[in-house]
Amino acid sequence: MDSLWLIAYVVLASAAIVQSLLVAINVYEHRRRALIRLRKLSYYAPTGRVHVFSPCKGLDANLEENLRALLTQDYPDYEVTFIVEDASDLACPVIRRAMAAYPRTPARLLVAGQAESCGQKVHNLRMATANLTAEIRHLAFFDSDSRPKPYWVRAAIYKHYLPRIGATTGYRWLIPQKPSMPNHLVCAINCNVMAVLGRESHHIVWGGSWAIRRETFEQLGIHEAWEGMLSDDLVASNRLRHSGLEVRFDPACVLTSPVDFDWSGMFDFVRRQYCITRHYAFHWWLLALVAATIGNLAWLVSLGLLACTMSGERSSAWLPTIAIGVLYGLGIYRGWAMQSLAVVYSPENLPKLRGVRRWHIWASPAVALVQWLGLIASAFGNHVKWRAIDYRLGADGRVLSKRILAS
């Protein structure tokens, strides 16, 4: 029996080490490509008129600065549509001030009205993309709680000249507004997710920073596919995957986004991200759950075995010690490699990211454990709270009902 348990442990630890090694290799590739791509921004040439859509709700942190950055892109031919649910939204005065400050950039404010049978963001985007003018060649989508670099529009549409590229995507680099443990943990977890993105995005787009050719958007029927759905990006991702078109991740499309959570808010955020993924991209959610389970079980079992052997026969302590050492070493490298990109992705926020760096490098097992708990929590229930609305989802991701929560 002991030998069977030993074999099971060796298999578990080996699987966790191989998995960590593969992730470390992917992180190396992510870092290498990011440094190369961001040195070639001069190659990102204009390729036609771009229409940028930015759903807004409430007073996000640094909202006006974010919108001003969007309206001052170094792209000669683009326009912006800001979409709100209601004319009384607190974002409206901020949007109008930003548009007035930069009148040379064509921009408008669209009041979409309240969603009835889909997510509010999806409803806003459906209203905004319903009647596109003939000269539009590219559609780009931007979340107002993020800050784009001046070259964001150029980078978002640059690869669209390649027929096999269906869309370009970036991702978020979270910035803690306060040096709290929940903020540091969620920022490190976000980096773990971002670490799997290399040259390809595995057909996944992130709704806060992505772009698609107008003809591809229409051919794939994304506007129609959004009807009744909560997620905009994963619905588009599924259409792109079924079409066989690539989704290219471009480091130049990574946006910084501030966060400030307490413990409850942090767990709600992590669970929501994975719960939405479970409904719209079940195979990726299951893969993430299995991978996180293997890694965390290897840690927990190794620590338990080490404690048992230290109190008994110490000669057998070498096996869990080696497993712990290798897993921890790979975790240190992964954290260091990702956090070293803060100089590239968000140099202006380096002081705020020191705590995230410490957690991601030296406490990677704790970060992985919290991420695993969020994944496990996402396996239960079909309610998702998002922007003060509680949505109930069906198995296919359709919104079955919604309830407005107190702000």
d(CA 402, CA 209): 26
d(CA 257, CA 62): 9
Torsion of CA 16, 365, 331, 304, to 10 degrees: -50
Q: Which pLDDT score, from 0 to 100, does residue 41 have?
A: 84
b/e per residue 221-237 (b: at least 16 CB within 10 A): ebbeebebbbbbbbbbb
Asked whether the beta carbons of 282 and 396 are under 8 A apart, the reply is: no
b/e per residue 115-128 (b: at least 16 CB within 10 A): beebbbbbbbbbbb
Residues in the chain: 407
Q: Is 218 exposed, middle or buried (0-12, 13-18, 19+ CB in 10 A)?
A: middle
pLDDT in tens, 11-44: 999 999 999 999 999 999 999 989 888 888 888 8
SS3 135: coil
d(CA 378, CA 349): 31
Partners of 81 in the β-ladder: 53, 108
d(CA 394, CA 382): 7
pTM of the model: 0.94
The CATH classification number of 38-171+206-261 equals: 3.90.550.10
Q: Which pLDDT score, from 0 to 100, does residue 1 have?
A: 42
- Token pair recorded at residue 95: 């949007």
The parts of the chain modelled with pLDDT lower than 70 are: 1, 201, 312-315, 406-407
Q: Which pLDDT score, from 0 to 100, does residue 20 have?
A: 94
Asked whether the beta carbons of 344 and 35 are under 8 A apart, the reply is: yes
Q: Which pLDDT score, from 0 to 100, does residue 46 have?
A: 85
Q: Which pLDDT score, from 0 to 100, does residue 209 have?
A: 97
Closest CA to 323 of 300, 344, 292: 300
Q: Which pLDDT score, from 0 to 100, does residue 315 have?
A: 60
Q: Which pLDDT score, from 0 to 100, does residue 358 have?
A: 96
d(CA 253, CA 156): 6
